[in-house]
Amino acid sequence: MHMADALLSPAVGATMWAGSMAAIGYSCKKLKENIDNKTIPLMGIMGAFIFAAQMINFTIPGTGSSGHIGGGMILTVILGPYAAFLAIASVLMVQALFFADGGLLALGCNIWNMGIFPCFIAYPLIYKLIAGDGKNARRISIAAIVSVLIALQLGAFSVVLETLLSGKSELPFGTFVLLMQPIHLAIGLVEGIITAGIISYVKKVRPEILQASNTLRPLDAGISIKNVLVVLVILAVITGGALSWFASTHPDGLEWSIEKVTGKGELEEATQGIAPALKDIQEKTAFLPDYGFKPAVKEEPKENEAPAWPGIEAGTSVAGIVGGAIVLMFILFIGFGIRLFKK
Amino acid sequence: MTFDEKYYNIGFLDQLAYKNTFVHRLDPRAKLIVTLLFLFTVVSFSKYEIAALLPFFLYPMLLMTIGEIPFMFIFKKVVFVSPFAVFIGIFNPLLDSGQVFIFSGLTISAGWLSFFSILIKFTLTVSTALLLVATTSFPGVCHALRQLGVPSLFVSQLLFLYRYIFVLMEETMCIVRARNMRSYGERGKDIRIFVRIVGILFIRTVERAERIYYAMLSRGFQGDMPSLKRFHIKTGDIVFALSVAVFLYFFRFYPATQILGRFVQGVFS
Amino acid sequence: MSHHIVEFKNVSFLYPDGTEALRDISFRITHGESVGIIGANGAGKSTLLLHINGYLMPTSGTVNIGDLYLTRQTRQEIRRKVGVVFQNPDDQLFMPTVYEDVAFGPLNLGMDETAVRERVEYALNLVSGLELQNKPPHHLSCGQKSAVAIASVIAVEPDILAMDEPAANLDPRSRRLLINLLKTFEHSKIIASHDLDLIMDVCHRCIVIKEGTVVADGPVMEILTNKKLLEENHLELPLSLQRR
Amino acid sequence: MSHHIVEFKNVSFLYPDGTEALRDISFRITHGESVGIIGANGAGKSTLLLHINGYLMPTSGTVNIGDLYLTRQTRQEIRRKVGVVFQNPDDQLFMPTVYEDVAFGPLNLGMDETAVRERVEYALNLVSGLELQNKPPHHLSCGQKSAVAIASVIAVEPDILAMDEPAANLDPRSRRLLINLLKTFEHSKIIASHDLDLIMDVCHRCIVIKEGTVVADGPVMEILTNKKLLEENHLELPLSLQRR
Ligand SMILES: Nc1ncnc2c1ncn2[C@@H]1O[C@H](COP(=O)(O)OP(=O)(O)OP(=O)(O)O)[C@@H](O)[C@H]1O
Ligand SMILES: Nc1ncnc2c1ncn2[C@@H]1O[C@H](COP(=O)(O)OP(=O)(O)OP(=O)(O)O)[C@@H](O)[C@H]1O
Ligand SMILES: [Mg+2]
Ligand SMILES: [Mg+2]
């Protein structure tokens, strides 16, 4: 479910970075308020644990294919939302750097999608609600499964939104949602069952670990549902506001400035290309009309779009190919040159 | 990839970071900022752009050669993580069928253009991110983050994460080996055993965290991780950062590839 | 009985990160032999053991177990013939109870419940661990864990037993029990250890490894009394041969 | 010099799950002594060491380090006096590079950067690990890790050094180097180990623990040659005293 740099526009990337960084800062501040000195090493090492656990594969029942876990919910249940959020953010960062999972720019999105939802939404709003005081094993299992499911659904939906807002992919909103949500329903079910299994195992073998996280750390108790909702609403407003500002004034983030410099704007035609009849629907359904989410409705024959594509004239593209080839050869040449020179 | 392969892979990348070349010696802050700038510049190109992206390969290429990072290693990693981008991108040619003339007789659909653009951006961003750790080391990146104002609590636990990834992965690798050895095929890999293994790992991790905490206490830990001021910005770092910035600016706003192409065409016709 | 043979021919192994852990290793262990593998830290002992049951595949050279060449196709079969006990028993006991852990291998071999029960009881009995069967592994002492780890490997009735540092962290009594246990097995045995006294007690033959190559191979007493050879390999005389 | 004294008086300790790990333990170690703690697996050695610098607080009884009684208030101070090296060096090297790790203690003592550098270099030099300083711990060998772990404790200049199983997993040469290193310290030393030969080489006095109580306490040679006592405690003669 990792978002990738290449699918992102700078605007979306930057906004999500800002949002995630703010959440990290806020969590650090909250954690500092009543920190137990043990927490710092514990967070780091738990992060490493999740990282290692994600690398073990298992056979998904009924399918024969193999999967691995995300582990966000386990961390949250053990460490409490703030510490867990930081640990998840760290894991994602290590993955971005060492495995290039997603990438650095998409890191903001990934932290948001896989950290915020389990820690600050699914945990306080769902897990805590269902699990109650954490004494009833059955309730804990149900809580784990449901909360993981919901966190993953939200995360997947968020990926869809980010991708579409970035406008690099042509996938229509509806199709994309239909692709992502059911897949993550299945993933979430498996992950939820695993999470429940691990929590109940820990509860059986070392109950004091779970108790510690239930009672000793006031962090869990400290999160009130009201606060969560307020923060969420604020964040949503800020994010939405920032995104729509970017999207409306700057067709593709920095692109507006290119238009000025090079004079080749490229996006107007996207809106023109869609038949006027559809334009109406589109303006009603898409919240960022400028971006022209291509509606899933496809009665419109494709040929209509073709002439509306004046983007690159023939001469330019040939020059591009020739120039590109030369540039690449030049770069390769430099690479080999330095290598030879060094030997 | 099997567990072993993943483990060795990350270990290798980590080893590279401890080389001693010009690139490795640059200040981590400079490299981090430059990398972020680079990424922003690359993704800021329009979705149909291809030619103008190509000059940007110069930056990873230089890092790789001067930093003595094996090309094939980075290349393989890039290929390995590509599926998601390819999966999403491949819909472009199917859905965006506007035609683009290349030259007379040859047209391709705009979707293909944007698909290739995604692939190029993907290669550029992923390889640069990998090269950042490969030439800076993870602790280096962490220290840079701290100096750039990321809360030290976050950075401290990030450093713990880095330190114990290798320890825990090795431990996990042993358990996975033990499982696989007595599994005789797929039988032993079902989900219940997975849950058990993760459960055991979890408990051992908590116990380990406890021991580590003891070790920290025994050396006077009182809640704040001490940090050494290790990096001083040198002229070399500033020159590096500025020249990359100029490079990025130039190729971002000046269609150099097109112009070069036109020029060459002109010479030949 | 050619099927109990372990033969390495010019085996080299590179870890993907470039570490050359084995270089051109050749040796042949025949049926019923018990062989000690010794060498400095990082000499390649553990890496070698991981080849014996195909966990790692040689980068070049061939490994021959019984009548099978080690390939991706044969390695499942080879794993049935070779049981490997790792250094840390904690890494090996991952099922909820001792019984289930020992039964894990036989069950995966597709045996039925009664046959499995027999196997488990036989194996646990051998290490005198029958009364532990319902305990969860994390409540066992170090020595008991080692014993169970061995039982869980014996339960699949391997023809060849390979062990990596079997006595680390055991108190002297448990170590002695382990030595006696090992002596009673009639399997082919390959034991990697820094505990030269244990090697001397259990093995008849000894292979010295240095930086991934075999530097000596011969009767255990000959090698473990060769002071010069030992010192070159970061080893020293077995403590019981060091007179005070 | 009363400040190097370690005194346990009727110390008992119960783990939260009810395990009675120490029962009524009393002993007194004076300045400059080097004491071995031996006993079966699970006898309570590690638990005892954890009391010496106050990670665990006795359930009843008193622990006296130098002129301080161990309480929640004094334990920070006591930790400066007592350096503990645990069994697994990986649990102790928690910083990203060797240098930072060894500097961790001195920095926490509030020393300035130049003084810290001096300390670190002194300590690393002592264990001949100076050239490792920029490496991350996971690139070190077993023996190197042990050495650095010791350096990081020495850098705080403790009056008393306590070690739990310092030589496990080391090859004989690294073990020998460690023994020589330990012999050169003039600190008070307390070493818990199953390696009786190491205890015999390094310590002058030996305390035998059984099920959480002291069953013998005396000169090392007296205890380590008392076959009956040793056997009752799951131990045996040091290997170098076992003639073949
Ligand atoms: N996962 C790994 N990745 C890269 N190199 C490795 C890995 N495991 C071991 N090595 C290297 O391979 C060499 C052989 O290691 P191996 O573990 O086989 O040694 P060993 O003889 O078992 O040592 P020890 O006595 O410490 O157990 C060493 O140089 C080691 O650093
Ligand atoms: N965290 C814990 N909770 C409960 N019981 C424990 C805990 N740690 C140790 N014990 C028990 O306390 C007793 C003493 O354990 P300890 O670790 O001190 O033994 P030891 O002498 O160090 O053994 P070894 O030689 O195996 O290291 C044992 O019975 C052990 O099972
Ligand atoms: Mg080994
Ligand atoms: Mg112990």
Confidence of residue A204 (pLDDT cuts 50, 70, 90): confident
pLDDT for residue A30: 87
Task: Write the DSSP symbol of residue C138.
Answer: G
C105 touches ligand 1 (CB under 6 Å): no
Distance CA D58, CA D13 (A): 5
> Which CA distances in Å does C231 have to A44, A286, A324, B252, C202?
41, 77, 62, 64, 22
pLDDT for residue A269: 35
| Residue A214 bridge partners (DSSP) | none
Question: Token pair of C135, please?
Answer: 């305990």
Distance CA D224, CA D242 (A): 11
Task: Write the DSSP symbol of residue A290.
Answer: G
Residue nearest to atom 1 of ligand 2 (CA): D15
- Residues 181-220 of chain C with CB under 8 A from chain B are none
D76 touches ligand 2 (CB under 6 Å): no
Model's pTM, two decimal places? 0.82
pLDDT for residue A140: 87
Give me the residue spans of the domains in chain B.
Answer: 1-150+231-254, 151-223
* Residue for token pair 């060459």: B264
Q: How far is ligand 4, taken at its centre, from the CA of residue B211, in Å?
A: 12
Tell me if D62 sits within 8 A of D5, measured CB to CB. Answer: no
Q: How far is ligand 3, taken at its centre, from the CA of residue C45, in Å?
A: 6
Facing C76 at nearest CB: one of B9, B185, B203: B185
Q: Which residue of D has its CA nearest to C43?
A: D171
Could you tell me how far CA B154 lies from the centroid of its own chain? 20
Kindly tell me the burial class for residue C77, based on how many C-beta atoms sit within 10 Å of its own C-beta (0-12, 13-18, 19 or more): middle
Single-letter amino acid, residue C231: E
Is the torsion defined by CA of C181, C186, C191, C197 positive or negative? positive
Could you identify the atom of ligand 1 that is nearest to the CA of residue D142? Answer: 26
Domains parsed from chain A with CATH numbers: 5-261+310-342 (1.10.1760.20)
Describe chain D by its helix, strand, coil percentages, rounded to 5.
40, 25, 35
pLDDT for residue B177: 84
Instruction: Tell me the per-residue pLDDT of C61-96, one tens digit each, with 9 for 90 and over.
Output: 999 988 889 988 888 888 888 888 888 888 888 888
Task: Write the DSSP symbol of residue D212.
Answer: T
Q: What is the pLDDT along chain C (244 residues), one digit of tens a residue?
A: 456 789 999 999 988 777 889 999 999 999 889 999 999 988 999 899 989 988 888 999 999 988 889 988 888 888 888 888 888 888 888 888 899 889 988 888 888 889 999 999 999 988 888 888 888 887 787 778 888 898 998 898 888 999 998 888 788 988 898 898 888 888 889 999 999 999 999 999 999 999 999 999 999 999 999 999 999 998 999 988 887 6
Cβ neighbours of residue D74 under 8 Å, at least 6 residues apart? D54, D68
Cβ neighbours of residue C4 under 8 Å, at least 6 residues apart? C30, C31, C32, C66, C159, C160, C188
Selection from D84, D92, D87 nearest residue D148 by Cα = D92
Q: Taking the CA atoms of chain A, what radius of gyration do you get in angstroms?
A: 24
Question: Token pair of B121, please?
Answer: 């951006």
Facing C171 at nearest CB: one of D40, D197, D243: D40
Distance CA A114, CA A102 (A): 12
The CA-CA-CA angle for residues A122, A127, A129, to 5°, reads 115
Set of chain B residues whose Cβ sits within 8 Å of the Cβ of C92: 174-175, 178
Tell me if B210 sits within 8 A of A210, measured CB to CB. Answer: no
Distance CA A27, CA B154 (A): 9
Instruction: Tell me the per-residue pLDDT of D106-160, one tens digit each, with 9 for 90 and over.
Output: 998 888 889 999 999 999 988 888 888 888 888 888 788 888 998 998 898 888 8
C47 touches ligand 1 (CB under 6 Å): yes
| D49 to chain C, closest Cα gap in Å | 17
Averaged pLDDT for residues B238-267 = 85
Angle between helix B71-81 and helix B3-16 axes, rounded to 10 deg:
130
pLDDT for residue A180: 81
Answer yes or no: do C172 and D42 touch at CB < 8 A: no
Residue nearest to atom 3 of ligand 2 (CA): D15
- Residue A295: pLDDT above 80? no
Single-letter amino acid, residue B47: K
Tell me if D166 sits within 8 A of D197, measured CB to CB. Answer: no
Distance CA A284, CA D3 (A): 81
Q: What are phi and psi of A66, to 5 degrees?
A: -110, 150
Distance CA C82, CA C53 (A): 6
Count of beta carbons in the 10 Å neighbourhood of residue C184: 7
Residue nearest to atom 4 of ligand 1 (CA): C15
Q: How far is ligand 3, taken at its centre, from the CA of residue C197, in Å?
A: 17
C52 touches ligand 1 (CB under 6 Å): no
ipTM, two decimals, is 0.84
Instruction: Tell me the per-residue pLDDT of A219-252, one tens digit each, with 9 for 90 and over.
Output: 444 455 566 566 666 665 555 555 554 444 444 4
Confidence of residue A217 (pLDDT cuts 50, 70, 90): very low
HEC profile of chain B: CCHHHHHHHHHHHHHHCCCCCHHHHCCHHHHHHHHHHHHHHHHCCCCCCCHHHHHHHHHHHHHHHHCCCCHHHHHHHHHHHCHHHHHHHCHHHHHCCCEEEEECCEEEEHHHHHHHHHHHHHHHHHHHHHHHHHHHCHHHHHHHHHHCCCCHHHHHHHHHHHHHHHHHHHHHHHHHHHHHHCCCCCHHHCHHHHHHHHHHHHHHHHHHHHHHHHHHHCCCCCCCCCCCCCCCCCHHHHHHHHHHHHHHHHHHHCCHHHHHHHHHHHHHC
Q: Taking the CA atoms of chain B, what radius of gyration do you get in angstroms?
A: 24
Tell me if C105 sits within 8 A of C66, measured CB to CB. Answer: no
Question: Going along chain C, which residue ranges are E strands?
Answer: 6-14, 20-29, 34-38, 60-65, 68-69, 82-85, 160-164, 188-192, 205-210, 213-219
C229 touches ligand 2 (CB under 6 Å): no
Domains parsed from chain C with CATH numbers: 2-242 (3.40.50.300)
Distance CA C117, CA B132 (A): 55
pLDDT for residue D225: 92
Tell me if C37 sits within 8 A of C190, measured CB to CB. Answer: yes
Confidence of residue B186 (pLDDT cuts 50, 70, 90): low
Selection from D97, D78, A278, C31 nearest residue B142 by Cα = D97
| Helix ranges (DSSP H) in chain A | 10-33, 39-54, 72-79, 81-94, 107-111, 128-131, 137-166, 173-205, 207-211, 218-222, 225-249, 255-262, 268-272, 276-285, 314-342
Tell me if A43 sits within 8 A of A87, measured CB to CB. Answer: yes
Answer yes or no: do C170 and D194 touch at CB < 8 A: yes
C168 touches ligand 2 (CB under 6 Å): no
Confidence of residue D195 (pLDDT cuts 50, 70, 90): very high
| Residue C142 bridge partners (DSSP) | none
Averaged pLDDT for residues D190-203 = 93
